[in-house]
Amino acid sequence: MAIERILVTGHLGFIASAFCEAYAGTYEIVGVDFGGWGSMEKNLMEGVADFRADIADGQRMEEILDETRPEAILNFAAESHVDRSNEDDRSFWRSNVMGTRILALQARQRGLRMVQVSTDEVYGDAKNTERAWTETDKMQPKNPYSVTKAAAEMLLRVYAEGGKESLNVVITRGANTIGPRQFPEKAVPKAIWCFTHDRPFPLFRTPARRMWMHVRDHVDGIEAALREGKRGEVYNLAPGAASEEITEKVIQKVRELVGRGEIQKVDDRPNYDLRYWMDASKAKKELSWEAQRDLKETLQDTAEWYLANMDWLEEAWKSIPG
């Protein structure tokens, strides 16, 4: 069945809005967003139908699906910040697990394709790992956020069993993603705000390594999974080895692009993973996907967007409690 109309959850957030921007001309997109933390009205893309709903509200989601009749669901919606999950994880369980369950049950009942957007954090910490993670490696999440994402994956894979009545689901696990419209609770946009406001950027004392991926590369991988992903399979989406860098050096590069700024070392957060490291060769082989942008281009494009859209950054920053 050709996919023409898709329901995109969390369309006012970071990665989902990038998907809508890139593919609103390819698909008819129905956006569903609760309008909570990390959602921005300015992220609404032209040509996207705009519905407001909590994905954990089964009745409301059923009404929207009855009205719009998509052929597929792309679930981007999630509570995603580790620090907040350490403080209070209740909303994480509601959105990331119960919301995913509601969508999956509706997709299974209606025979819809579903893509679950997950994260490299479900693997845990690769600080003592001798090779990059592959999709068959054990999930060992270390914080409430990644536990909820892993739990959602496990539930979906149960629903994917069962022959003709099974859920047609594909799961993607994305590397550390940066780019335009990322909420400034995350490192790079937070650094840009701090540096442009003469505030020190708080950097954890212990060096951590990440694979840094441009959001456009990430959404291209998700779209490839929608089209080409095998039913019931998981795909790592990560750039090449050259994209891996310790956070301090990335923040230093951001400071150079901004032209000023101070970095201040602070104590590590609880459940602090020191390295995420994924092998994306399966996605290259089965989805014909690989990241196109190197770290230098990714950081430059990201910094240029924020510096040209300081009104967006200011509005987002003011919405962060405290």
Residues in the chain: 322
What letter represents residue 31's amino acid? G
Three-state DSSP class for 205?
coil
Residue 85 Cα distances to 82, 88, 144, 167, 174, angstroms: 5, 5, 5, 29, 19
Give me 82's structure tokens.
Answer: 């580790």
What letter represents residue 54's amino acid? D
| DSSP code string of 261-303 | --EEEEPPPTT---B--B--HHHHHHH-------HHHHHHHHH
Q: For tokens 């967006």, name the residue.
A: 312
Gap between the Cα atoms of 156 and 80, Å rounded: 19
**Active site positions, annotated:** 120-121, 145
Gap between the Cα atoms of 12 and 61, Å rounded: 17
What letter represents residue 257's amino acid? L
Residue 59 Cα distances to 65, 71, 156, 214, angstroms: 10, 19, 20, 36
| DSSP code string of 87-144 | H--HHHIIIIIIIHHHHHHHHHHHT-EEEEEEEGGGG---TT-SS-B-TTSPP---SH
Residues 6+ apart with CB under 8 A from 3: 27, 71, 72, 113, 226, 227
Gap between the Cα atoms of 93 and 14, Å rounded: 20
